[in-house]
C-alpha cells in the first residue's frame, strides 16, 4: 500500500526540465540548490547543462514545465531552440543584466521564485526572426546595427584581457564602455523600411527590440509589449549623442533620449557596420546588406510573477484586522 501510494504521488508530480548554465550565479544558486528548491516545491526534475552535448536532445523531452536558470544568453538559447512552444517556461535570472527577466518583472532568488510559480499564470512572449544573406536566425532581445554591436565587440576584447567584474560593477562598467563607444562612433547610413514606408537615415545606430531592456540593463524600448507581435525600432540619432551619454549616467531616472517606432515588419539596408543578434556581435563587413525582421507566428509561454505566499498571507491578515 505504501509503495502504491508513493507511485500515485509520483504520477501527479509536475515534471520539469531544468536548463541550467553552471557558470552563472554563485554557490547559493548552483545546480544542487536549485534542484533542491524545485523538488521541495513538488517538481520531478530532469537536468540539462545548456552548454553540454545532450542539451538539444533534452529540449525534445515532453515535460510540464521548462525552467531556465542563467543569464540572457541562456534564456535566448533555450527559447530559440525549443520546438514545443506550448509548454510553460519559468525563468530563474542568474546573469548580470537579466534583460529578459527585467522586461517581464521577474526578480528574486530561485528559492523565492519557485514558490510563486503558477503554470496557469503565463504571458505569451514573441520570438523574433532576422533574415539576411546567411539565412534566418531567431532572437529574443534585439537585432542591432552600429554602436551597441560595437560596445559588445569592445567588451569581448576587454574580457580577454582580464577578469570580468560581477553584478552591479559589471553593469556600471558596461555602461561606461557604451559611453566610450558612443563618443567615438561615426554616423552610419541606413535605409529603414517599416511596412510600405522607407526612410534614409544617418545615425549612430538602430536597435530593433523585442523586449524593453537590452545591453547593460538599459530600458531603451520602454513601450515594448511582448504580446503585440510588433518590434520596437529604437533610433540612436547623431544629434542625440550627448543626451544619450548623459542618460547613461543614470538610465533608470530619466526618459531614454531615443526616437522609437513600432512595426510588425522591419527591413534594414546598410553597409560596412557592425551588427549583433542578441549578445552575439559581428564585425563590419564590406558590401551592402539587407536584413528583414519580424515576430514569429507562435509565441512562447512565460510564467509571470504572482505574489509570494508570505505576501498573500500578510495581506489576508491585514484585511481581516
- Same structural domain, 15 and 81: yes
pLDDT of residue 258: 97
- Same structural domain, 210 and 312: no
pLDDT of residue 9: 42
- Same structural domain, 305 and 288: no
pLDDT of residue 1: 44
Distance CA 58, CA 47 (A): 8
Q: 122: domain CATH number?
A: 3.40.50.10330
pLDDT of residue 207: 99
- Same structural domain, 147 and 290: yes
pLDDT of residue 27: 73
Number of domains in the chain: 2
- Same structural domain, 243 and 285: yes
pLDDT tens digit at each of 321 positions of the chain: 454 443 444 445 799 999 999 988 777 789 999 999 999 999 999 999 999 999 999 999 999 999 999 999 999 999 999 999 999 999 999 999 999 999 999 999 999 999 999 999 999 999 999 999 999 999 999 999 999 999 999 998 876 655 555 555 689 999 999 999 999 999 999 999 999 999 999 999 999 999 999 999 999 999 999 999 999 999 999 999 999 999 999 999 989 999 999 999 999 999 999 999 999 999 998 889 999 999 999 999 999 987 645 445 545 656 665
Q: Which residue has the cell 514569429?
A: 296
Under 8 Å between Cβ of 128 and 231:
yes
Dihedral angle of Cα 275, 280, 281, 282, to the nearest 10 degrees: -80
Quick count: other Cβ atoms within 10 Å of Cβ 196?
6
pLDDT of residue 160: 63
- Same structural domain, 247 and 290: yes
- Same structural domain, 146 and 186: yes
- Same structural domain, 306 and 204: no
The residue segments making up the domain with residue 271 are 128-295
- Same structural domain, 134 and 253: yes
Distance CA 115, CA 11 (A): 21
pLDDT of residue 25: 74
Under 8 Å between Cβ of 111 and 118:
no
Q: Could you please report the per-residue DSSP string of 166-209?
A: -HHHHHHHHHHHHHHHHHHPPPEEEEEEETTEEEEEEEEEEEEE
pLDDT of residue 5: 44
Which residues neighbour 228 within 8 Å (Cβ) at sequence distance 6 or greater?
A: 126, 262
pLDDT of residue 20: 97
pLDDT of residue 311: 47
Dihedral angle of Cα 302, 300, 277, 239, to the nearest 10 degrees: -70
- Same structural domain, 120 and 132: no
- Same structural domain, 105 and 136: no
pLDDT of residue 269: 98
- Same structural domain, 168 and 227: yes
pTM of the full predicted structure?
0.89
Amino acid at each position: 500500500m505504501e509503495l502504491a501510494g508513493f507511485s500515485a504521488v509520483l504520477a501527479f508530480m509536475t515534471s520539469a526540465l531544468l536548463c541550467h548554465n553552471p557558470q552563472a550565479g554563485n554557490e547559493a544558486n548552483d545546480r544542487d540548490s536549485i534542484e533542491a528548491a524545485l523538488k521541495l516545491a513538488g517538481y520531478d526534475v530532469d537536468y540539462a547543462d545548456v552548454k553540454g552535448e545532450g542539451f538539444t536532445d533534452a529540449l525534445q523531452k515532453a515535460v510540464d514545465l521548462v525552467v531556465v536558470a542563467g543569464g540572457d544568453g541562456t534564456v535566448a538559447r533555450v527559447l530559440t531552440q525549443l520546438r514545443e512552444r506550448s509548454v510553460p517556461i519559468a525563468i530563474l535570472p542568474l546573469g548580470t543584466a537579466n534583460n529578459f527577466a527585467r522586461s517581464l518583472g521577474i526578480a528574486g532568488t530561485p528559492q523565492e521564485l519557485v514558490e510563486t510559480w503558477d503554470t496557469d499564470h503565463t504571458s505569451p512572449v514573441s520570438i523574433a526572426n532576422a533574415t539576411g544573406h546567411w539565412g534566418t536566425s531567431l532572437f529574443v532581445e534585439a537585432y542591432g546595427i552600429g554602436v551597441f554591436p560595437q560596445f559588445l565587440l569592445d567588451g569581448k576584447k576587454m574580457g580577454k584581457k582580464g577578469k570580468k567584474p560581477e553584478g552591479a560593477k559589471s553593469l556600471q562598467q558596461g555602461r561606461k564602455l557604451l559611453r566610450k563607444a558612443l563618443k567615438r562612433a561615426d554616423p552610419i547610413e541606413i535605409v529603414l523600411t517599416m511596412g510600405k514606408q522607407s526612410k534614409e537615415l544617418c545615425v549612430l545606430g538602430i536597435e530593433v527590440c523585442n523586449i524593453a531592456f537590452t545591453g547593460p540593463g538599459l530600458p531603451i524600448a520602454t513601450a515594448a509589449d511582448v504580446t503585440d507581435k510588433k518590434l520596437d525600432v529604437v533610433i540612436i540619432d547623431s544629434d542625440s549623442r550627448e543626451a544619450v551619454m548623459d542618460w547613461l549616467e543614470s538610465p533608470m531616472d530619466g526618459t531614454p533620449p531615443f526616437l522609437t517606432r513600432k512595426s510588425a515588419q522591419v527591413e534594414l539596408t546598410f553597409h560596412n557596420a557592425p551588427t549583433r543578434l542578441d549578445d552575439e556581435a559581428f564585425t563590419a563587413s564590406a558590401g551592402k546588406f539587407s536584413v528583414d525582421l519580424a515576430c514569429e507566428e507562435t509565441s512562447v509561454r512565460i510564467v509571470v510573477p504572482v505574489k509570494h505566499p508570505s505576501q498573500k498571507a500578510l495581506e489576508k491578515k491585514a484585511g481581516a484586522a
